[in-house]
């Protein structure tokens, strides 16, 4: 074998192996994007991309932190893939498809109810529409703060009396799913902010949700607290993690004192129960 070819052989061999195992060669590319958190229906995960990348989720641009972190949420009903597109500072594009794991949600059928318990009376419809308008407006903020990076604490501890995603079918009509986690506690129990944030809504008495407080954690991630007895903060205030923002009540349509804690990433309602450490709430059944 001529010397020239023998010298070249090891490199040729390497190129051939690399070509054959192209998935192996793409491994370095996979390292550029990773996700943490539970990839399930109602879940939210944190993506990590190289700093300076632009990120799109299902074709919509999303905010990224300076070090390349971003949020992805999976709706309760989602069964197909979410597409995450990454454009690196070099201009190179990567794409990932994420399919959430399915969950079983509790469905309850109740028949034979008097109709006025199923549909709100005509006289309050305008008020309900106005409440919804205010809530929508408060969620329009698109804030670069990333107050979610440090994770979330329980706003208070106590037994869990309602869970995300459960649904009742009353007289054959499917109601909206229950979107929050209900934590039972006596009226007046302090409610603490689960993470830092900015107060974007503080309403003393909405029709369904009574005393209602929104805290925006940045990147369109918002915590909502419902049925509050008192609200201690005003719109525009910055709150710290653990700061008391109000107290538990039974205001609005509530059957007893509890906190209903909901979370949205933009328009997607997610399950706060997936973001907290259950060992911190000894009164709750582990999930
Ligand atoms: Zn509730």
In this predicted model, what pLDDT tens digit does every residue of 167-196 receive, in sequence order? 999 888 888 899 999 999 999 999 999 999
CATH classification number, 127-166+175-280, choose in 3.30.450.20, 2.70.70.10, 1.10.10.60, 3.40.50.1700: 2.70.70.10
pTM for the model stands at 0.86
Taking the centre of ligand 1 as the mean of its atom positions, its distance from the CA of residue 103, in whole angstroms, is: 19
How does pLDDT run along the chain (287 residues), one tens digit per residue? 445 544 444 444 444 444 444 444 444 566 789 999 999 999 999 999 999 999 999 999 999 999 999 999 999 999 999 999 999 999 999 999 999 999 999 998 888 877 666 678 888 999 999 999 999 999 999 999 999 999 999 999 999 999 999 999 988 888 889 999 999 999 999 999 999 999 999 999 999 999 999 999 999 999 999 999 999 999 999 999 999 999 999 999 888 999 999 999 999 999 999 999 999 998 887 55
Whether the Cβ atoms of residue 214 and residue 222 lie closer than 8 Å to each other: yes
Whether the Cβ atoms of residue 286 and residue 278 lie closer than 8 Å to each other: yes
Taking the centre of ligand 1 as the mean of its atom positions, its distance from the CA of residue 255, in whole angstroms, is: 10
Taking the centre of ligand 1 as the mean of its atom positions, its distance from the CA of residue 251, in whole angstroms, is: 12
The 10s digit of each residue's pLDDT in 189-222 is: 999 999 999 999 999 999 999 999 999 999 999 9
Superfamily of domain 32-103: SoxY domain (2.60.40.2470)
Taking the centre of ligand 1 as the mean of its atom positions, its distance from the CA of residue 16, in whole angstroms, is: 60
Taking the centre of ligand 1 as the mean of its atom positions, its distance from the CA of residue 267, in whole angstroms, is: 19
Q: Determine the Cα–Cα distance for residues 175 and 177; give it in Å rounded to an integer.
A: 6
Return the pLDDT at 23.
42
Taking the centre of ligand 1 as the mean of its atom positions, its distance from the CA of residue 101, in whole angstroms, is: 24
Taking the centre of ligand 1 as the mean of its atom positions, its distance from the CA of residue 166, in whole angstroms, is: 10
Whether the Cβ atoms of residue 231 and residue 275 lie closer than 8 Å to each other: no
Taking the centre of ligand 1 as the mean of its atom positions, its distance from the CA of residue 182, in whole angstroms, is: 5
Within 8 A by CB and 6+ apart from 169, the residues are 107, 108, 109, 110, 175
Taking the centre of ligand 1 as the mean of its atom positions, its distance from the CA of residue 219, in whole angstroms, is: 25
| Spatial strand order in the sheet of 167-170 | 107-110, 167-170, 173-174
Taking the centre of ligand 1 as the mean of its atom positions, its distance from the CA of residue 180, in whole angstroms, is: 6
Return the pLDDT at 111.
85
Name which of 266, 230, 260 is nearest 138 in CA terms. Answer: 266
Taking the centre of ligand 1 as the mean of its atom positions, its distance from the CA of residue 179, in whole angstroms, is: 7
Q: Please report, for the chain, the start and end positions of each structural domain, with discontinuous segments joined by +.
A: 1-30, 32-103, 127-166+175-280
The 10s digit of each residue's pLDDT in 123-142 is: 899 999 999 999 999 999 99
């Amino acid at each position: 074998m001529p010397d020239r070819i023998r010298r070249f052989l090891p490199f040729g061999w390497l190129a051939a192996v690399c070509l054959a195992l192209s998935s192996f060669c793409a491994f370095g590319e996979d390292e550029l994007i990773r996700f943490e958190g539970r990839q399930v229906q109602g879940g939210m995960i944190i993506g990590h991309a190289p700093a300076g990348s632009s990120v799109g989720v299902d074709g919509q641009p999303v905010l990224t932190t300076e070090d390349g972190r971003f949020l992805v949420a999976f709706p309760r009903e989602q069964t197909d893939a979410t597409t995450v597109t990454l454009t690196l500072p070099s201009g190179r594009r990567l794409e990932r498809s994420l399919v959430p794991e399915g969950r079983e949600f509790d469905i309850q059928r109740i028949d034979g109810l008097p109709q006025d318990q199923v549909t709100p009376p005509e006289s309050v419809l305008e008020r309900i529409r106005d409440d919804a308008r205010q809530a929508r407006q408060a969620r329009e903020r698109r804030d670069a703060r990333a107050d979610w990076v440090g994770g979330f604490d329980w706003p208070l501890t106590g037994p869990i009396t309602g869970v995300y995603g459960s649904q009742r079918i009353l007289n054959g009509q499917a109601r909206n799913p229950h979107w929050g986690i209900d934590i039972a506690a006596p009226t007046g129990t302090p409610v603490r902010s689960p993470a830092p944030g900015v107060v974007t809504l503080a309403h003393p008495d909405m029709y369904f949700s009574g005393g209602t407080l929104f805290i925006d954690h940045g990147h369109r991630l918002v915590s909502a607290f419902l049925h509050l007895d008192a609200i201690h903060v005003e719109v525009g205030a910055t709150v710290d993690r653990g700061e008391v923002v109000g107290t538990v009540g039974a205001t609005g349509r509530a059957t007893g004192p509890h906190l209903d804690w909901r979370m949205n990433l933009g328009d997607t309602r997610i399950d706060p129960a997936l973001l907290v450490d259950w060992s911190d709430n000894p009164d709750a059944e582990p999930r």
